[in-house]
Amino acid sequence: MTADNLFLRIARGELPADIVYRDELVTAFRDIDPQAPVHVLIVPNHHVASIAEAGPDDEPVLGRLFLAARSVAEQEGLAEGGYRLIVNCGAHGGQEVEHLHLHLLGGEPLGPMRCRRKEH
């Protein structure tokens, strides 16, 4: 199976995942290799390879990804302490799966967003 249809197949219910939220536009499920006590991925139910590939027709689903993330954050008890939303894009962004996904991370202080660059 190619990496680019893995999340689409999860969203369609064709592959197992720990699904925490689903509506007509997006599906949210727990990351298989969590980087925080709560680590959920929210993905469109139709194929969008990355944010770089999204077009005007995808605007409703892009908004829904964020609103679904907020709902899941509340559901997971993260609203008070706060949380982080991340979208990786392309090779430099560290995107490994070629289906747009929003990472929701929380459940403990997450520290700085990234390691400081080394001085050259």
* Per-residue tokens: 3: 């990496």
For the record, the structure tokens of 68 come out as: 């679904």
Two structure tokens written together for 16 = 């197992």
CB of 101 to ligand 5GP, least distance (A): 6
HSE toward the beta carbon, residue 8, CA cutoff 13 A: 13
Q: Token pair for residue 41?
A: 């991925």
Between CA 31 and CA 75 the distance in angstroms is: 16
Q: Does 6 bind ligand 5GP (CB under 6 A)?
A: yes
CB of 96 to ligand 5GP, least distance (A): 4
Q: How far is the CB of 55 from ligand 5GP (least distance, A)?
A: 20
Residue 89 found at the interface with ligand 5GP (CB under 6 A): no
> Is 120 noted as a catalytic residue in this protein?
no
Footprint of ligand 5GP (CB under 6 A): 6, 17, 29, 31-33, 41, 88, 94-97
